Amino acid sequence: MSGKPILHYFNGRGRMECIRWLLAAAGVEFEEKFIEKPEDLDKLKNDGSLMFQQVPMVEIDGMKLVQTRAILNYIATKYNLYGKDIKERALIDMYSEGVADLGEMIMLFPLSPPAEKDAKLTLIREKTTNRYLPAFENVLKSHGQDYLVGNKLSRADIHLVELLYDVEELDPSLLANFPLLKALKARVSNLPTVKKFLQPGSQRKPPTDEKKIEEARKVFKF
């Protein structure tokens, strides 16, 4: 009996946020069950709901899927956001994985030891402006189309635009020299489903602050 997907995670961005973005952009309504204390996570583990004892976990179409990429791949396929053939999928995967590499650095940054923070931030800025943003700007420049792959919205565009918002939160000046990326960000943000998700009151989660990190540390015991 398939109802809405149910997302199991704590009430913060973490590794679930990209899944929220993709579902929202696809126009799919979803429910969330928040893990608020360690006992909630224990319960999921003891239920046998988590194949590797970890979240994110998404209940969807009779499955209890774990592993972020498995969940994203399924949603993208189901809602036609994964290109039209094997070669388009290869490009989408290549671009999405590049986004994930930079996204991972940004996500883990709040967790770095205070003594390492400045160096880490410098590295993130450097990679953003010298490696990742130029690569994606080049793709858009190469074909002049509105979307990264196949002249059609795909998960690659959604993951990238989510990343651009994260980069902007870190430092808006990082986007300065990337006009095509700024245009993609504006274009995707104006799609009705994305526009709705970007408004206050949606299921999009706010930036992770100190309080949120402490909550995560308690729930996930790290």
| Partners of 60 in the β-ladder | 63
| Partners of 63 in the β-ladder | 60
- 18 within 8 A of 73, measured Cβ to Cβ: no
Interacting residues with a copy of itself between 24 and 43 (CB under 8 A): none
Least distance from a copy of itself to the Cβ atom of residue 166, Å: 17
- Closer Cβ to a copy of itself, 81 or 194, answer by number: 81
- Check residue 141 for interaction with a copy of itself (CB under 8 A): no
The one-character DSSP state at 16 is: T
Least distance from a copy of itself to the Cβ atom of residue 181, Å: 15
Single out the residue of 36, 42, 101, 118 in contact with a copy of itself (rule: CB under 8 A).
101
Least distance from a copy of itself to the Cβ atom of residue 108, Å: 14
Interacting residues with a copy of itself between 118 and 137 (CB under 8 A): 131-132, 135
Closest to 175 (Cα-Cα) out of 136, 220, 219, 119: 136
- 105 within 8 A of 93, measured Cβ to Cβ: no
For residue 147, count other CB atoms closer than 10 A to its CB. Answer: 18
- Closer Cβ to a copy of itself, 38 or 206, answer by number: 38
CA dihedral 143→144→149→150, nearest 10 degrees, is: -80
**Chain contacts with a copy of itself (rule: CB under 8 A):** 51-53, 61, 63, 65-70, 73-74, 77-78, 86-87, 89-91, 93-94, 97-98, 101, 131-132, 135
